[in-house]
Chains A and B, each alone.
Chain A
Amino acid sequence: MTIDPKIAPAVAGEEGVGRRDFLRAVAGFAGVTLAPGVMLYSYGAAARPLDEAVSGKVRWGMLVDVSRCQSDCDACVSACFKENGLSAVERPTTDAQWIRKVDIRDPQTGVTRSLPVMCQHCAEPPCVDVCPTGASFKRADGIVLVDKHICIGCRYCMMACPYKARSFVHETHTDQVEAAPRGKGTVEGCTMCVTRVDAGNVPACVEACATTGNGAIIFGDLNDPASEIAQRIRTYATSQIRSDLGVDPGVHYQNL
């Protein structure tokens, strides 16, 4: 397999708008594809009380149906940029990138796939193993985060991550959003929109994929046998990227 990472632009390009127009035009089709995504808004687990600590009984995860993900769509990427106030400074090699679209092609068969790759929220995260200060940590509910208060910016985690999921903030920022503090000299990555999840919502990429994308990503509690994600993983053959590493990612892919 040839992996050709494509850095998706911060704002939706013209193709994105055209595709949305197309989806609006075929409203019936849109209704069918949106329905499974919409169910996420009421994904059972009522929002945890504000004063209650996260519990290890829950493990948040995502399932990406790669057959639905289109190469020309970057709804998840632009939603992530907007939600977390990530501002690109036109330096593609170092600009923050919490989620990216990757196009892959099998040279033998010619089959192509397009899929989003973000922090895989591993059960055994290598970034946590190598962190010298304890800044990189896994929350009880499986979300892997960087505590930027104690991050020293050594970037060991960036080297340890098999998924290239972390970015380093090189510039001073003053345009942070309230829910996503980020500053120069620290490492950052997908937080699974932890403030949204704590409030009982789904991550921004999942919501964008359901509304303006192709409804390819679902989010839920992998430990809850009744959740849609657990049922789908039980029913269909799914895979984890680089499952040979034994890090047990929380992000699963279907039809990869």
Chain B
Amino acid sequence: MIGRAVRNGLAAAAFAAVTAVAVWPALAGDVPLPSPAKGKGEACVADTAFMRRNHMSMLVHQRDATMHEGIRTQQYSLKECISCHAVEGADAKPVSIESPDHFCRSCHDYAAVTIDCFDCHTSTPGGADKAAEADGAGADAVAQLSDYAKGLDR
């Protein structure tokens, strides 16, 4: 009986040792971990552990509130995520989801979780409309009219 206990004990010790050896390199950084870029500002809308587990539910909740009820608070909006977590590329412009450095992609690639947000939504702050604004077509006329409208009494 004692012999069996010793054998079990030895086996457990051996297992622990093997596990420790297997885990150690990961802690030492030999296994590539995702390294999402830090967002702007002091802190995210919730603490990191909560965001890791629940960001998808928060996005779905906000999505339904916005789509169906027209609630457009910015705090939990996808737009705000993309704006705050924008990663600049070599050209100093925010990278799109095409780039592996994109904030969302850096983790989702690692976890092998496919997201389809960006099939429809733009993956860069402002989207293509910011580029369209740059041509300035009609912008003057609108600005003039806005000024005029502000001068009206009603």
Q: Are A85 and B129 in contact (CB under 8 A)?
A: yes
- Report the number of A-B residue pairs with Cβ-Cβ less than 8 Å: 94
Determine whether B16 belongs to the interface, using a CB cutoff of 8 Å to chain A: no
Q: Are B127 and A149 in contact (CB under 8 A)?
A: no
Determine whether B13 belongs to the interface, using a CB cutoff of 8 Å to chain A: no
Q: Are B149 and A38 in contact (CB under 8 A)?
A: yes
Smallest Cβ-Cβ distance to B119: which chain A residue: A183
**A125 CB to nearest chain B CB (Å):** 15
Q: Is the interface of A mostly helix, strand, loop or mixed?
A: loop
Q: In the complex, A50 Cα to B96 Cα: how many Å?
A: 28
Q: Are B119 and A177 in contact (CB under 8 A)?
A: no
Q: Is the interface of B mostly helix, strand, loop or mixed?
A: helix
Q: Are B67 and A147 in contact (CB under 8 A)?
A: yes
Instruction: List A44-93 residues whose CB lies under 8 Å from chain B.
Output: 44, 48, 50-54, 79, 82-83, 85
Report if A198-B122 is in contact (Cβ < 8 Å); known contacts: A177-B129, A211-B142: no
Determine whether B11 belongs to the interface, using a CB cutoff of 8 Å to chain A: no
Chain B residues whose C-beta falls within 8 Å of the C-beta of A172 in the assembled complex: 119
Report if A194-B119 is in contact (Cβ < 8 Å); known contacts: A44-B154, A211-B138: no
26 sampled A-B residue pairs with Cβ under 8 A: A38-B149, A41-B145, A41-B146, A41-B149, A42-B149, A42-B154, A44-B154, A50-B71, A50-B74, A51-B71, A53-B65, A54-B69, A85-B132, A139-B69, A148-B120, A172-B119, A174-B96, A174-B98, A177-B129, A178-B126, A179-B129, A195-B72, A198-B70, A198-B72, A207-B142, A211-B138
Point out residues on A near B: beta carbons under 8 Å.
Answer: 34, 38-39, 41-42, 44, 48, 50-54, 79, 82-83, 85, 137, 139-141, 145, 147-149, 172, 174-179, 181-184, 186, 194-195, 198-199, 207-208, 210-212
- 12 new A-B contacts, CB < 8 A, other than A139-B68, A181-B120, are A34-B145, A42-B149, A50-B74, A82-B132, A149-B63, A177-B122, A178-B79, A178-B126, A183-B120, A186-B120, A195-B72, A207-B142
Point out residues on B near A: beta carbons under 8 Å.
Answer: 63, 65, 67-74, 79, 96, 98, 119-122, 125-130, 132, 137-138, 141-142, 145-146, 148-149, 152, 154
